Amino acid sequence: MRKAFIKVAGSQEVAVKNGLIYTNHLNDLVILELSGSTLNTIKRLPAFKNMNNQTLPPERGVFECPDKTRGTVIGWQKKMLQDPKCQY
């Protein structure tokens, strides 16, 4: 039996029901179908626009300002910063 991994950016939860794979891709709910060795996107729903806004870190303090041109913030890591420009 073959085994493989499916990479979905920002995925935090996965469910499988009736041969379909349900997961989040950043702020969207994505429904996938595996047919043989082909993975097809059945549907994409903008389901999580206001639920997972991570433009601010979970703790107050200084932080690296997000660059919106580089994509969506999917999480935060604690690191020592040399010259942080943002704070809340």
3-state class (DSSP) for residue 21 = strand
Q: What's the pTM value of the predicted model, to 2 decimals? A: 0.54
Give pLDDT, residue 16: 93
33 pLDDT exceeds 90?
Answer: yes
* Structure token digits, residue 54: 């991570």
Which residue(s) pair with 28 in the sheet? 25
Q: How confident is the model at residue 54 (pLDDT cuts 50, 70, 90)?
A: low
Question: Average pLDDT of 5-20?
Answer: 87
**How many Å apart are CA 73 and CA 82, to the nearest integer?**
20
